[in-house]
């Protein structure tokens, strides 16, 4: 496996339009230490003559990358979308009873992706049973590095559950069919994951700035994820471990987004409400305005 580093410049043009240009994508042969990353960034900035034009450097939240920006004494902003992805991915992995369901749906999706006959049956069943559908839908596979792909996979499975089950039986793979209780669980999980999916899309916008939305989004997520429970106790449950520590600057942007390490406190815990829905309400979003 080879390592690469990409540097992208984001700026506002003279006609007030947001622009993005990749300045360089180069292979990193040397060790990915903070010092080597800082050296590479310095060279790119000097070559493009932008060393004195940097307002902020946005990166993922890897310790070596964050340290590299610190060595250059540049203002750093951790990618909130990356943090959110880590939080939800960990929650889905650690939540009791969730991973086996995701794995079962993924196995179904992989089967259809590798079987021309089964895929054909699925398309034919859709045309027969969903007459107003403009074109047949395909099952969606998830991607490990993007949590929302798991959401889309589950959502699409629910859309095609009846047709998928029939196609599996026709293909002699009824052993892959999900139990009705499992399907009911997925139906309960989707509304709980929807707010996070909306936030992920909102914060990943390319044509508008999103930094100013982070603090309101954290508050809205907290409210959404702690009011979906099935009882008042669950809705008002204190969530002591998860911490989003956001320090605001005078320009109403944040300087720091800090999550307690997994060794000190579990990054994201889980709760299964009494009706079976996943409520990410064992951790509290703490934010400081």
pLDDT tens, residue order, the chain (289 aa) = 789 999 999 998 999 988 999 999 999 999 999 999 999 999 999 999 999 999 999 999 899 999 999 999 999 998 888 888 888 888 888 888 889 999 999 999 999 999 999 999 999 999 999 888 889 999 999 988 888 999 999 999 999 999 999 999 999 999 999 999 999 999 988 988 888 898 889 888 888 888 888 888 888 877 777 765 443 433 332 322 322 222 222 233 333 334 333 332 232 333 223 233 333 333 333 322 2
67: closest CA among 41, 43, 33, 44?
A: 33
**Confidence at residue 228, expressed as pLDDT on a 0 to 100 scale:** 52
pLDDT value at position 254? 33
Do the bridges between strand 76-78 and strand 57-59 make them parallel or antiparallel, or are there none, so unpaired? parallel
| C-alpha span between 150 and 156 (Å, rounded) | 10
| pLDDT value of position 110 | 97
Find, among 104, 106, 186, the residue nearest to 149 by Cα.
106
Tokens of 51: 């060393």
- Do residues 106 and 142 make contact, with C-beta atoms less than 8 angstroms apart? yes
Calpha distance 282→97 (Å, rounded): 16
pLDDT at 210: 86
| Predicted local distance difference test score (pLDDT) of residue 229 | 46
Q: What is the pLDDT of residue 227?
A: 65
Tokens read off for 75:
């203002």
Predicted TM-score (pTM) of the model is 0.72
Residue 114 DSSP one-character state: H
Left, alpha or beta for 234 (phi > 0: left; psi -120 to 50: alpha)? Answer: alpha
Query: What whole-number distance in Å separates Cα of residue 227 and Cα of residue 223?
Result: 6
The three-point CA angle 82-86-89 to 5° equals: 130
pLDDT of residue 25: 96
């Amino acid at each position: 496996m080879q390592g690469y580093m990409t540097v992208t410049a984001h700026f506002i043009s003279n006609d007030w339009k947001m622009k993005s240009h990749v300045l360089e994508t180069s292979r990193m042969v040397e060790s990915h230490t903070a010092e080597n990353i800082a050296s590479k960034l310095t060279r790119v900035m000097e070559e493009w003559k932008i060393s004195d034009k940097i307002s902020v450097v946005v990166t993922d939240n890897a310790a070596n990358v964050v340290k590299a920006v610190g060595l250059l004494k540049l203002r750093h902003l951790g990618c909130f979308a990356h943090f959110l992805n880590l939080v939800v991915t960990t929650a889905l992995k650690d939540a009791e009873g969730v991973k086996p369901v995701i794995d079962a749906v993924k196995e179904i999706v992989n089967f259809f992706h590798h079987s021309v006959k089964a895929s054909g049956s699925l398309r034919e069943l859709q045309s027969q049973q969903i007459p107003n559908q403009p074109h047949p839908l395909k099952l969606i596979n998830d991607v490990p590095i993007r949590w929302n792909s798991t959401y889309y996979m589950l959502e699409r499975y629910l859309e095609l559950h009846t047709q998928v089950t029939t196609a599996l039986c026709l293909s002699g793979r009824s052993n892959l069919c999900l139990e009705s209780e499992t399907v009911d669980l997925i139906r309960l999980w989707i509304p709980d994951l929807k707010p996070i999916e909306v936030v992920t899309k909102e914060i990943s916008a390319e044509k508008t700035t999103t930094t100013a939305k982070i603090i309101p989004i954290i508050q809205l997520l907290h409210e959404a994820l702690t009011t979906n429970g099935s009882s008042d106790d669950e809705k008002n449950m204190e969530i002591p471990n998860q911490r989003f520590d956001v320090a605001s600057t005078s320009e109403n942007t944040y300087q720091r987004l800090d999550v307690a390490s997994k060794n000190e406190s579990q990054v994201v815990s889980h709760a299964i409400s009494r009706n079976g829905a996943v409520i990410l309400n064992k951790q509290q979003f703490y934010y400081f305005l």
